[in-house]
Amino acid sequence: MNPFRRSPFVIAATILVYFFLYAPIVGLVLYSFNASRTNVKFEGIIPAFSERVVMDGSLVKSSPCGPFHWYCDLAKNDDVLEAAGNTLKIAITATILSTIIGTMAALALQRYDFKLKLFSQVSLYIPIVIPEIVMGIGALTLFSQLFQFLNSTLNLSGDARLSLGIVTVTVSHIAFMIPFVTLVVQARLQGFDKSFEEAAMDLGADEWTTFRRVTFPMILPGVLSGALLAFTLSLDDFVITFFTNGPGSTTLPIYVYGLLRRIITPQVNALSTIWILVVFIAVLSLQLIQNRTEKA
């Protein structure tokens, strides 16, 4: 069998798979330039420079932005910018903390034996397996009861009163992201050769120096993979965020859901297109960093 020969069936199957995956995204991007204010049907792309355009009896005023009319509207929308800022702040904070905790948990589970090791290992799969709505309701119940107890015990009132917000969303994201990071780093540690650490300590390095100069660089690709997975999960999470957010903590998925409850407009498609581009750039950047660390 010639390994360089490409079967037409394999090529056709590959094309169908990629079409199935990316056709909705291409349609979403195309409809973000729709001239109609209601995104029910495609009525043509917004002209580049004209005073007013009539299509199917509907009056559409074009702007200097031309086909990027809806994107310009998003740039002027303070609610969109606030939601995007909240999403990035929550994702970055939750990714950093969950990566640190998950990496430490993976090292502990891989290196040490203790009585509850089997229980700890099995419990990592519970947040992954159970539906997100169950975790969302559980987190909401926990925060509600905890805040009610603290507010009544400490006599907190007004602005000092504890309530749902960005902090609760971030903590909830960290809780369900830790198992993903731990399992990814633990998989990287499966083939780790401890003789490198032993050689470093024989040469006089202490435990911290050994970890910083030997262990961490060797497991860094796994740590970056876990961080990348956690970052993407936090960016597009809706269910858990929906139950744990409060005033001033609206994220982009929650904002888009609010828009969809009224009417689907090209503005929603434009916002989704921008977000897809942001996620793609973030994933590509982390992937390039991971490839460089593996080559090093």
All residue ranges of the chain with pLDDT < 70 are 1-5, 35-77, 262-264, 290, 293-296
The pTM is what? 0.77
* Domains of the chain from N-terminus onward: 77-262 (1.10.3720.10)
pLDDT value for 103 = 92
CA distance 175 to 138: 12
pLDDT value for 118 = 84
pLDDT value for 43 = 63
* Residues 6+ away with beta carbon under 8 Å from 67: 33, 45, 46, 47, 48
Cα–Cα distances (Å) from 158 to 39, 143, 162, 169, 243, in that order, read 43, 18, 9, 21, 22
pLDDT value for 293 = 67
